[in-house]
């Protein structure tokens, strides 16, 4: 579909010598590779580059961290607390890194503050479709460590400040991923 | 260390497999030290980060056999971005323990084999795949969060970050091995595309294909091989929690030149500082007898995957106090004394940092990077920059003692090694 052209900007030609087509990974099946008669010229041959897809379906267990994901599916944000030294983890771990003792599951407050943040305009291939997206590390009262999450409900980094209050929200249809919880600004 | 070599780092080397690139770096290394014959090498250590990039397991042995070093010992060392630094120390350990008289460290990465954003995905798999990666696994995003906190704690500015980029790109201008040799202004850096706020395209290193090699030898053997060996006088390796969210908020680990009262209200390391870098630095300083790093070290090659991490690392290495990294670059301390950067700098050349151009300008073929730093530092100390770069522009007048720093994850593995004139 042709782009609508604003007649006011028609007066100056818009020419970009650096214009470039987006690279794609599609290609053609080759049935015949040219080959010289003189073997001594082979070292100057261009390299052959092939496309190799790689797809793996893992059977990935969350192991001892599984209750965290079950918690998200039930609109609960779970952390863990050390029974010995009381150190509390916003991102759960079943053994305390400080004293080595087993921790217990605790429910975290669903309101916290932005400890730090960023807005990603690019990302890994899997998340390119989500850009721009906002990442926050959330701090909670009475909890010693932080929690990494997406923040929505803001447009850009100028709308986010360190210390601003944020509230947890949960996907109704759980994906059993840490993104089942996300945060929004507190009104 | 008795010799080193680097393949020119490029965006893509479709003309060569990883074995061939390692061979190029190895041949350069051997060519620079004619007295060393392959038969004298007792074994080797291989450095490459991601099996995903190679799509080949046990790539280390394939490089070893290509070099003709079978059936001698070889093993692979891997620790994210610090893989090269860990490999260097692995070769040092082989020699220091007496197991080998001569050990080769070689490293490579072939990152062009996937598209950039797939490469970012591979790199982000080096973050917790249960809790971090699925939220938005992207290392530039992680570092952006860390520097935003650094700016919040200490008032660091984006212009100070940009100065690191100007410095390292400009230094690389005279380094023929570098991938990006550019003269930039602070405005160029700020005006380039925003990747993860506040980091722009020019605040971040690029992906590369490349290889590097170093030969380490016992003191007795070193003097048989060369008149100008470089001595490894200190090694340190630090670690920290994989998840940034797990980093403690405690007390600063003090360097010999710091006092507890310097950091009254600072919670450490949080996400603004790298405890592993501090730990590695202090171990290496203690071993090398360094108590005042700013004055006792002549230059530093550090892991500037991001301009922000260079500033954070000045502080970890106690070149300045925590919180003063931004001011440290703004005042000009880490710039080369002999180069005009087009910037007004109060003091230039107190301790040149990344005279080679660092990762930001040289490129970052992960497994080769830490060894590349060792090679560039080795040439600086030997005074052979002109011979190897073809121009002496980047040769420091005083380069008797250098520090190399290799860094992984969000500061999960960090190595520091001290290299000194050995003759």
Confirm or reject contact between B235 and chain A (CB < 8 A). Answer: no
- Given pLDDT bands bounded at 50, 70 and 90, which one contains residue A2? very low
pLDDT tens digits, one per residue of A117-136: 999 999 999 999 999 999 99
Distance CA B110, CA B116 (A): 12
Q: Do A118 and B243 touch (CB under 8 A)?
A: no
pLDDT tens digits, one per residue of A14-57: 899 999 998 777 877 888 888 999 999 999 999 998 888 888 99
Smallest CA–CA distance, residue A8 to chain B, in Å, is 27
ipTM over 0.90: yes
pLDDT tens digits, one per residue of B202-236: 999 999 999 999 999 999 999 999 999 999 999 99
Q: Do A125 and B193 touch (CB under 8 A)?
A: no
Could you count the other beta carbons within 10 Å of the beta carbon of residue B164?
Answer: 28
Give the domain ranges of chain B.
3-113
Find all residues with CB under 8 Å of B402, minimum gap 6, and list them.
B297, B298, B299, B300, B301, B377, B380, B381, B418, B419, B420
Q: Do B117 and A23 touch (CB under 8 A)?
A: no
Distance CA B306, CA B149 (A): 15
Give the rounded percent of residues in chain A with a pLDDT score beyond 70. 94
Cβ B357 vs Cβ B369: under 8 Å? no
Distance CA B66, CA B77 (A): 18
Q: Do A145 and B247 touch (CB under 8 A)?
A: yes
Q: What residue of A is the nearest CA neighbor of B152?
A: A162
Q: Which residues of A touch B198 (CB under 8 A)?
A: 157
Q: What is the pLDDT of residue A142?
A: 96
Confirm or reject contact between B149 and chain A (CB < 8 A). Answer: yes
Distance CA B231, CA B227 (A): 12
Distance CA B397, CA B299 (A): 11
- Given pLDDT bands bounded at 50, 70 and 90, which one contains residue B301? very high
Cβ B197 vs Cβ A118: under 8 Å? yes
Structure tokens belonging to residue B417: 């090694």
> Strand pairing partners for B231?
B420
Distance CA B51, CA A26 (A): 24
Residue B323: alpha-carbon gap to chain centroid: 22
Give the range among A25-39, A52-66, B92-106, B310-324 with minimum mean pLDDT: A25-39
Peptide bond into A77 cis (omega under 30): no
Reported as type and span, the H/E element at residue B377 is helix B366-382
Find all residues with CB under 8 Å of B68, minimum gap 6, and list them.
B38
Give the domain ranges of chain A.
63-185
> Strand pairing partners for A51?
none
Structure tokens belonging to residue B47: 């450095």
Q: Which residues of B touch A157 (CB under 8 A)?
A: 197-198
CATH dotted code for B3-113: 3.40.47.10
Mean pLDDT, rounded, for A71-95: 97
Smallest CA–CA distance, residue A130 to chain B, in Å, is 9
Mean pLDDT, rounded, for A66-71: 98
Cβ B290 vs Cβ B280: under 8 Å? no
Cβ B111 vs Cβ B54: under 8 Å? no
């Amino acid at each position: 579909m042709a782009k609508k052209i604003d007649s006011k900007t028609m007066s100056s030609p818009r020419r970009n010598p650096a214009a470039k087509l987006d690279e794609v990974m599609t290609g053609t099946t080759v049935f015949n590779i040219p080959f010289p008669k003189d073997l001594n010229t082979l070292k100057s041959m261009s390299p052959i580059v092939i496309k190799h897809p790689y797809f793996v379906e893992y059977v990935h267990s969350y192991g001892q961290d599984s209750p965290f994901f079950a918690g998200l599916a039930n609109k609960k944000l779970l952390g863990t607390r050390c029974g010995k030294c009381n150190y509390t983890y916003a991102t759960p771990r079943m053994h305390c890194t400080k004293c080595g003792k087993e921790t217990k599951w605790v429910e975290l407050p669903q309101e916290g503050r932005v400890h730090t943040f960023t807005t990603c305009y690019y990302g890994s291939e899997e998340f390119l479709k989500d850009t721009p997206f906002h990442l926050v590390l959330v701090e909670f009262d009475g909890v010693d460590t932080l929690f990494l999450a997406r923040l929505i409900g803001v447009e850009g980094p100028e709308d986010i400040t360190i210390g601003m209050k944020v509230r947890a929200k949960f996907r109704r249809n759980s994906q059993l991923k840490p993104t089942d919880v996300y945060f929004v600004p507190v009104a | 260390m008795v010799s080193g070599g680097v393949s020119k780092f490029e965006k893509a080397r479709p003309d060569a497999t990883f074995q061939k690139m390692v061979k190029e770096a190895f041949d350069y290394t051997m060519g620079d030290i004619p007295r060393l014959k392959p038969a004298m090498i007792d074994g080797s250590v291989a450095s490459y980060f991601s099996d995903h990039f190679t799509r080949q397991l046990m790539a280390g042995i394939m490089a070893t056999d290509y070099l003709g070093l079978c059936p001698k010992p070889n093993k692979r060392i891997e620790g994210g971005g610090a893989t090269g630094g860990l490999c260097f120390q692995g070769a040092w350990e082989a020699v220091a323990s007496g197991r080998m008289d001569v050990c080769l460290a070689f490293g490579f990465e072939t990152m062009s084999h996937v598209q950039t954003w797939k490469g970012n995905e591979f790199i982000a798999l080096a973050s917790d795949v249960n809790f971090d990666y699925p939220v938005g696994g992207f290392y530039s995003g992680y570092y952006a969060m860390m520097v935003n906190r650094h700016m919040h704690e200490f008032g660091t500015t984006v212009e100070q970050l940009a100065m690191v980029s100007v410095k390292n790109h400009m230094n690389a201008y005279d380094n023929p091995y570098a991938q990006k040799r550019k003269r930039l202004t602070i405005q160029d850096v700020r005006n380039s595309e925003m990747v993860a706020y506040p980091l722009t395209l020019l605040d971040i290193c690029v992906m590369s294909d490349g290889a590097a090699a170093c030969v380490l030898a016992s003191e007795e053997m070193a003097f048989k091989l060369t008149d100008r060996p470089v001595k490894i006088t200190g090694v340190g390796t630090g670690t920290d929690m994989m998840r940034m969210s797990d980093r403690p908020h405690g007390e600063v680990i003090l360097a010999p030149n710091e006092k507890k009262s310097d950091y009254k209200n600072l919670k450490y390391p949080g996400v603004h500082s790298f405890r592993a870098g501090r730990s590695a630095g202090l171990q290496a300083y203690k071993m090398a007898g360094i108590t005042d790093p700013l004055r006792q070290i002549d230059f530093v090659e550090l892991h500037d995957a991001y301009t922000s991490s260079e500033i954070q690392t000045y502080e970890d290495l106690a070149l300045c106090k925590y919180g003063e990294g931004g001011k440290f670059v703004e005042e000009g301390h880490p710039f080369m004394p002999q180069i005009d950067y087009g910037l007004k700098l109060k003091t230039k050349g107190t301790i040149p940092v990344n005279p080679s151009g660092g990762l930001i300008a040289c490129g970052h073929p992960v497994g080769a990077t830490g060894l590349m730093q060792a090679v560039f530092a080795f040439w600086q100390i030997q005074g052979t920059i002109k011979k190897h770069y073809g121009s002496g522009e980047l040769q420091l007048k005083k380069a008797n003692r250098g520090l190399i720093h290799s860094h992984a994850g969000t500061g999960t593995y960090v190595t520091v090694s001290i290299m000194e004139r050995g003759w």
